[in-house]
Chain A
Amino acid sequence: MKLSSILIGACSVLALGATAQAETITIATVNNGDMIRMQGLTADFTAKNPGIELEWVTLEENILRQRVTTDVATNGGQFDVMTIGTYEVPIWAKQGWLVPLTALQDDPVYDAADILPAIAGGLSVDGTLYAAPFYGESSMVMYRTDLMEKAGLSMPDAPTWDFIADAARKMTDRDEGINGICLRGKAGWGENGAFITAMSNSFGARWFDEEWNAQFDQPEWKATLDFYVGLMNDAGPAGASSNGFNENLALFQQGKCGMWIDATVAASFVTSGDSTVADKVGFALAPDNGLGKRANWLWAWSLAIPSGSQKQDAAAKFVSWATDKAYLELVASKEGWAAVPPGTRTSLYENPEYLAAAPFAKMTLESINAADPTNPTVKPVPYVGVQFVAIPEFQGIANNVGQQFAAALAGTKTVDEALAEAQNITTREMRAAGY
């Protein structure tokens, strides 16, 4: 009797031990301020979800993209939550590589209807959400208020390209090391490819017509690239074909740019203590040409659950925690409202405390709302995506096309040569891909 009691007791302890063993989910993410902050708040999640431990894999954006693509395409199951962008979500969802987040969509506490419509649209396929946005961004004009005043101009809330070009040339002062405008020139689909594609939308250009024929031989593309190269030659920094986000951020923070058109997340950097011009920065919508489309993009770093994950329930709990309204309040309580990940929820932009803490909030919201990934161009297109085309072949093609654009900016090719080569590359690759 005594022995059996001991055995039963031992079995109970073993069973309890087994149930008490924590389930560990692995999260692949990028290295940026918001994501690092989230890692610092892990304790809040584990306190609310005992039995689930978090393991982080932080990688540089391009390495992460390659790493998670290999894993999701082979059903590797190495990651339970992946940080992916608006480019991957529609492609991967159609492949059946992502778990649909229908439970989140139907959860009244999560309130998926509160997600900004433009962002939700970019992360959904046929109305079903496949990734939850962690932070969203568009692009806008950041400018030096003092230099604008010195040039005798006043920046409108919604400028045209002609105004931007005129202002850039007037603000340029080579003797003082001031460049009127700083724009992305570094080759790459996420660098100059993103900027020039978004810019081309406002000039009426498009990557493909409805039959998937490349359109770089059309006058709208010539107008776009002529304008870009001419403006950068007159008012851009030296060696601009090597400049991406970080290089332009450094130039702007050191007071060497009159204007900078780039990601809305940069607003918090240029107004932070690290910036020498923090108190002299104004914001405006990305420019247009009066054709109904602005030169702003749309991007959201989002959390998705790969189909190969063996811990989908625990992963869903994490995705919900990291992207719900309570998380925004958690960040605000720990680090202030200005540190809250922006661009995902309508309610954030109705919060007076956030609006007071983030002077760029209104322009960020307007920029995001002005982007329409399902209808990005003046003329009709067969694709989704503002600064990209959501097809698997786009990355490779746009990297090559970006090199042509960079060559035109560096002066090693003429605009016509660069566009002709872009047309050849795109036509060849699309034909090989069976379009």
Chain B
Amino acid sequence: MARKVTLQRKLGFTALAWFLGCIMFFPIFWMILTSFKTEIDAIASPPLVFFQATWENYQLVLNQSDYLKYFGNSVVIAGGSTILALLVAIPSAWSMAFSPTRHTKDVLMWMLSTKMMPPVGVLVPIYLMLKYLGLLDTRTGLVIIMMLINLPIIIWMLYTYFKEIPSEILEASRMDGAVLWKEIVYVLLPMALPGIASTLLLNLILAWNEAFWTLNLTAANAAPLTAFIASYSSPEGLFWSKLSAASTMAIAPIMVLGWFSQKQLVTGLTFGAVK
């Protein structure tokens, strides 16, 4: 009897999870579907589920825009900023997790508070700083800005993962003669690898999807895929299927990456959740 209840609950939760998953995935599914419609089919009311599929939108988008240039910029900006942020965040998180002071919590809260300010509030100062440094519309400028934007979250995530690791292990390595960098590289990082991997993946996704800074600080040279999508929207004219094709092409790489790394992502995000 008890087994039956458990099975029912299992089935119930599975059904609920699938239902919620389908709801969350539906907009992406509809976008992909729309990308294969003609503009007239895309605006049909009631919406069409069955239609004559066409590759026309993808051909048009590829002819009109240099997709590879935008893609390359996205890879450099998202990848570069994430790696740079990890290089800064790992020692910071180590310091806060294993050598805390009475102000550590305040520093962490302050870092998090920078995420609470609307980005537009600092647009003009940052724009002017990049202008005077000659970094406007450069990938270097964007890598630095995206690194700074995501740094608080990365430090917080790593700090949480590092706190789960017993400090006695690190102390033992020190007693065995490990210097600081060896302690971090050979002892701490292997133990925190799932957490670091999920932090890396999550921030890669955040940096890939970021639209405010990437749109406002780029023009012709460093524009990533967010600018590629923005070029296919228009308040006057039918554009839904072309926009859907552009959006599908923009999110496809990160979706594929997410699909193949979902195990690591889930492992990392639930790291230490169950003791």
Report which A residues bind B (CB closer than 8 A). 26, 28, 30-33, 36, 39, 55-63, 66-67, 70-71, 73-74, 76-79, 190-191, 244-246, 249-251, 253-254, 256, 263, 265-266, 269, 274
B122 cross-chain contacts in A, Cβ below 8 A: none
Q: Is the interface of B mostly helix, strand, loop or mixed?
A: loop
Q: Are B237 and A246 in contact (CB under 8 A)?
A: yes
A62–B215 Cα gap in the complex (Å)?
A: 12
The reply to whether B39 and A274 form a contact with Cβ atoms under 8 Å apart is yes
Q: What residues of chain A lie closer than 8 Å to B137, measured between beta carbons?
A: 78
Query: Which chain B residue shows the least CB distance to A25?
Result: B220
Provide the bound-state CA to CA distance between A179 and B223, in Å.
Answer: 43
Cβ contacts B115-129/A at 8 Å (1 or 0 each): 000000001100110
Binding site for A on B (CB under 8 A): 39-40, 43-45, 64, 123-124, 127-128, 131, 136-137, 215-216, 219-220, 223, 227, 230-239
Q: With A76-B136, A250-B43 known to touch, is A31 a contact of B232 (CB < 8 Å)?
A: yes
> Nearest B residue to A299 by beta-carbon distance?
B236
Q: How far is the CA of A55 from the CA of B220 in the complex (A)?
A: 7
B235 contacts A244, C-beta separation under 8 Å: yes
A-B contacts, 23 of them at CB < 8 A, read A28-B219, A31-B233, A31-B239, A59-B230, A60-B233, A60-B234, A60-B235, A63-B215, A66-B216, A70-B127, A73-B124, A76-B131, A78-B219, A191-B235, A245-B235, A246-B234, A246-B238, A250-B43, A250-B45, A253-B43, A254-B43, A256-B45, A266-B236
The answer to whether B236 and A32 have CB atoms under 8 Å apart is: yes
Contact of A57 among B45, B219, B235, B239 (CB under 8 A): B219
Chain A residues closer than 8 Å to B40, beta-carbon distance: 253, 274
- Shortest Cβ distance from residue B84 to the other chain A in the assembled complex, whole angstroms: 24
B128 contacts across to A, CB distance below 8 A = 74
CB of A80, distance to nearest CB on chain B (Å) = 10
CB-nearest residue of chain B relative to A276? B40
Q: Is the Cβ of A70 less than 8 Å from the Cβ of B216?
A: yes
Q: With A57-B220, A244-B235, A256-B45 given, can you name 15 additional A-B contacts, CB distance below 8 Å?
A: A28-B219, A30-B234, A39-B64, A56-B220, A57-B223, A59-B227, A70-B123, A70-B124, A70-B127, A74-B127, A246-B236, A253-B43, A254-B45, A265-B236, A269-B237
How far, in angstroms, from A26 to B64 measured CA to CA in the complex? 17
User: What's the least CB distance linking B32 to chain A, in Å?
Assistant: 21
Question: In whole Å, how far is B80's beta carbon from the nearest beta carbon of chain A?
Answer: 21
Shortest CB distance A182–B (Å): 13
| Centre residue among A36, A250, A274 by max chain B CB count within 10 A | A250
A251 vs B231: C-alpha distance in the bound complex, in angstroms? 24
| A395–chain B nearest beta-carbon distance, Å | 14
Q: How far is the CB of B210 from chain A (nearest CB, A)?
A: 14
| A265 surroundings in chain B (CB, below 8 A) | 236
What's the Cα separation between A78 and B43 when bound, in Å? 36
Chain A residue, CB-CB nearest to B228? A58
Q: Given A74-B124, A274-B40, answer yes or no on A67-B234 (Cβ-Cβ < 8 Å).
A: no
With A70-B124, A70-B216, A254-B44 known to touch, is A36 a contact of B235 (CB < 8 Å)? no
Q: Which of B44, B45, B220, B235 has the most CB of A within 10 A?
A: B235
Q: Bound state CA distance, A33 and B234, in angstroms?
A: 10
CA distance A59 to B231 in the complex (A): 4
Q: Which 4 pairs across A and B sit closest by C-beta, in order of nearness?
A: A60-B233, A250-B43, A58-B231, A55-B220
Whole-angstrom CA separation of A253 from B240 in the bound complex: 15
Chain A residue nearest to B65 (CB atoms) is A58
B230 in contact with A60 (CB, 8 Å): yes
Q: Which residues of A contact B136 (CB under 8 A)?
A: 76, 78
How far apart are the CA atoms of A33 and B60 in the complex, in Å? 13
Q: A59-B227, A249-B238 are in contact. Are A26 and B44 (CB under 8 A)?
A: no
Note all chain B residues with C-beta closer than 8 A to A71.
127
B233: chain A residues at CB < 8 Å are 31, 60, 63
Q: Taking the nearest CB of chain B, how far is it from the CB of A153, in angstroms?
A: 27
Which of A62, A67, A73, A263 has most chain B Cβ within 10 Å? A67
Closest B residue to A75 by beta carbon equals: B131
Residue B234 contacts which of A28, A61, A79 (CB distance < 8 angstroms)? Answer: A61
Q: Is the CB of B231 within 8 A of A60?
A: yes
- A70, A246, A250, A256: the one contacting B235 at CB < 8 Å is A246
Which residues on A sit within 8 Å (CB–CB) of B220?
26, 55-57
Alpha-carbon distance A73/B125, docked complex (angstroms): 12
> Known: A60-B231, A70-B123, A70-B124. Contact between A245 and B238, CB under 8 A?
no
Q: Which residues of B contact A256 (CB under 8 A)?
A: 45
A70 to B131: give the CA distance in the assembly, Å.
Answer: 12
A56 vs B136: C-alpha distance when bound (angstroms): 16
A31 and B223 form a contact (CB under 8 A): no
Distance between B226 CB and nearest chain A CB, rounded to angstroms: 10
Which residue of chain A has the shortest Cβ distance to B39 in the bound complex? A274
> How distant is A272 from chain B, measured CB to nearest CB, in Å?
10
Inter-chain CA distance A67–B212, complex, in Å, is 10
A62 with B127: CB separation less than 8 A: no
Complex: how many Å from CA A286 to CA B230? 32
Partner of A67, one of B64, B216, B237: B216
| Measured CA separation A57–B233 after assembly (Å) | 13
**Residue of chain A at shortest CB distance from B233:** A60
Least distance between B109 CB and chain A CB atoms (Å) = 31
